[in-house]
């Protein structure tokens, strides 16, 4: 494995008397502040993170908080940085295993063990990374470098042939693996900690073999699904929906301000309020539009002739193409974790219904023999996660020889497994 030097942390200054009782107290208080910030980010997103809310949790005054972190953005960045550091530690430990499969299995085990400790209260929760996009550009880029440092070490998990082709396969596998592990923090709440061993086994079954049978071929039908018309430059509610979706995907819920959405269309903030009542209503419409599009694709695929593998691969290819063609993408599913709590529940339930429809297609395929016997509930959540995160891989897709190749390479890790074919 290639070694990568550790980046300099985003953090408060170290106390002068490093290694003394004073420095231990300093670090202990700083850790308490970061624990509280992670709890608030997970519950309310970066939008809900304030010095006052942190001070209340740690029973300190806000002036004391500013001694450790001069600005709220620095506190947010340090909290998210700690999540990346934890993931990097897990990756470094997993990289010591002898084979690609053993490395992935070890990484999944560490992630699940950490989540279990967080749920049982034996370990402070770490902040989810979905709001990292909302930071200012300098901090976001600095954390992005650290995340990519970790990402590249996971790329090295896979013993693929040297050269561009092998590397692009490893990058697709890594992206799918990490995004499905990030998303599992959401759906795993449906399972008790005592079931985590089974979750590990079923995830590894999916990562090892995929959901396609050994004789399945990747030749998805093209679905002609009526979609959003982006042929006009007229400024209306439709164009605002498109602009908000792209901006939220790139900047997160908090970072997609009214000003940024308006600037995307090169119009004024006043124009925004001429067409819309407010940002939250627009965000809800974006989710509704995205989920409606997914449902139309799913139903069109279910109406196709052939096997359930044929139908599932057609839906997967179509939705991946939507994400790679970033003019009118689907809204990232992870954006819902940063929504206010009162908005989050109904959207998450609709997301679950979308995953359940994929699970139903898999169950029907298992029954007829065209889908490998896997856990359809876990596999469908992983599929939804990979489809939504495909937006982040669109620039990778642009450098493939043609769109069909990009879609096939990106879809293979879940369809056929991370380690072969």
Mean pLDDT over 36-43 rounds to 91
Chain segment 266-290, per-residue pLDDT in tens: 888 777 777 777 777 777 888 888 8
Q: Residue 1 pLDDT more than 70? A: no
Report the pLDDT value the prediction gives residue 248, as an integer from 0 to 100: 80
The whole-angstrom separation of Cα 279 and Cα 302 is: 35
pLDDT at position 44 over 90: no
In this prediction, residues 86-90 reach a mean pLDDT of 97
**pLDDT for 197-217, tens place per residue?**
999 999 999 999 999 999 999
What mean pLDDT is reported for the chain? 86
Quickly state the pLDDT bin for 96 (edges 50, 70, 90): very high
CB within 8 A of 230, min separation 6: which ones?
242, 327, 328
Judged against a pLDDT cut of 80, whether residue 227 lies above it is answered with no
By C-alpha distance, which of 270, 295, 288, 278 is closest to 358?
295
Q: Indicate if the pLDDT at residue 338 is higher than 70.
A: no
Residue 168's nearest CA partner among 417, 340, 405 is 405
d(CA 253, CA 149): 25
What average pLDDT does the segment 340-349 reach?
75
Name the pTM for this structure: 0.86
Closest CA to 245 of 231, 226, 232, 230: 230
């Amino acid at each position: 494995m290639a070694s990568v030097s550790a980046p300099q942390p985003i953090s408060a200054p170290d106390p002068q008397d490093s290694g003394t009782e004073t420095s231990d107290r300093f670090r202990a208080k700083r850790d308490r502040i970061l624990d509280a910030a992670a709890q608030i980010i997970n519950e309310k997103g970066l939008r809900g993170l304030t010095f006052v809310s942190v001070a209340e949790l740690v029973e300190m005054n806000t002036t004391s908080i500013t001694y450790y972190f001069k600005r709220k953005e620095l506190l947010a960045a340090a909290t998210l940085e700690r999540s990346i550091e934890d993931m990097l530690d897990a990756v470094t430990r997993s990289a010591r295993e002898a084979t690609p499969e053993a490395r992935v299995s070890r990484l999944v085990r560490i992630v699940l063990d950490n989540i279990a400790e967080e749920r049982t209260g034996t370990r402070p929760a770490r902040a989810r990374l979905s709001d990292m996009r909302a930071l200012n550009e300098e901090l976001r880029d600095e954390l992005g470098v650290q995340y990519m440092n970790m990402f590249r070490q996971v790329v090295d998990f896979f013993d693929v042939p040297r050269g561009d082709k092998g590397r692009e396969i490893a990058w697709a596998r890594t992206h799918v693996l990490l995004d499905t592990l990030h998303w599992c923090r959401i759906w795993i709440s449906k399972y008790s900690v005592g079931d985590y061993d089974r979750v590990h086994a079923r995830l590894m079954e999916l990562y090892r073999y995929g959901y396609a049978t050994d004789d399945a071929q990747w030749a998805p039908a093209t679905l002609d699904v009526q979609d959003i018309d982006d042929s006009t430059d007229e400024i209306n509610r439709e164009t605002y929906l498109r602009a908000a979706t792209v901006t939220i995907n790139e900047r997160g819920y908090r970072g997609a301000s009214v000003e940024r959405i308006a600037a995307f269309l090169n119009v004024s903030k006043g124009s925004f309020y001429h067409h819309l009542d407010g940002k939250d209503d627009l965000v809800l419409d974006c989710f509704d539009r995205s989920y409606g599009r997914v449902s139309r694709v799913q139903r069109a695929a279910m109406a196709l002739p052939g096997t359930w593998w044929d139908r599932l691969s057609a839906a997967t290819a179509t939705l991946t193409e939507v994400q790679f063609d970033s003019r009118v993408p689907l809204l990232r599913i992870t954006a819902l974790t940063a929504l206010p709590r009162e908005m989050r529940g109904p959207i998450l339930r609709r997301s679950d219904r979308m995953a359940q429809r994929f699970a139903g297609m898999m169950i029907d395929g298992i029954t007829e023999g065209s889908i490998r016997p896997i856990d359809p509930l876990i596999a469908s959540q992983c599929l939804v996660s990979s489809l939504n995160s495909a937006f982040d891989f669109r620039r990778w897709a642009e450098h493939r020889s043609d769109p069909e190749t990009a879609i096939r390479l990106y879809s293979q890790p879940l369809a056929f497994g991370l380690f072969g074919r």
